[in-house]
Amino acid sequence: MGYSNYKQIKSVIKRFNLDMRLIRLFDENLEVVAPVSWLLETLEMAKGTSITNEKSKSERIVSPILLEASKSYTDQISFFSGESLNIKPEDDLSGECDFFFALHPPKLYIDAPIISLAEAKDEDME
């Protein structure tokens, strides 16, 4: 089952002997960037479709937003979707990831370091 076994932040912190700190991720003076027209059109079209599961939400909403966000860093990151990321299977650190970025110029294979994004759902994680 892998990554999906981790549903409570407390259990992750305990299992891997981590420390959790709440910090401000972005500066208060963060520049607001207006969405480009293709993204607005894509998201508007998605409203008219049946988004009934995680796959459809991922394809129609999340992927276009991440593609647009990655556009400014095309020489610095690789954007991956649906790849297996088997780091340490014996600790359930394995499985298929919806999306992640690798901090290297675009190439067809994954190299460290990766930039991970986690989607926390009310029913899955505190």
Angle between helices 37-47 and 63-70 (to 10 degrees): 170
Q: Is the pLDDT score of 39 beyond 60?
A: yes
Question: What confidence category does residue 119 fall into, taking pLDDT thresholds of 50, 70 and 90?
Answer: low
Q: What is the pLDDT of residue 123?
A: 53
Mean pLDDT, rounded, of the chain: 85
Output the pTM of the full model: 0.76
9-35 average pLDDT score:
87
Which amino acid, residue 63? S
Percent of the chain with pLDDT over 70: 91
Q: What is the pLDDT of residue 68?
A: 93
61-76 average pLDDT score:
91
Tell me the C-alpha distance between 47 and 57, whole Å. Answer: 10
What is the 3-class SS of the chain, one letter each residue? CHHHHCCCHHHHHHHCCCCCCCCCCCCCCCCCCCCCHHHHHHHHHHHCCCCCCHHHHHHHHHHHHHHHHHHHHCCCCEEEEEEECCCEHHHCECCEEEEEEECCCCCCCCCCCEEECCCCCCCCCC
Q: Is the pLDDT score of 122 beyond 60?
A: no
Residues 126 and 10 sit within 8 Å (Cβ to Cβ): yes
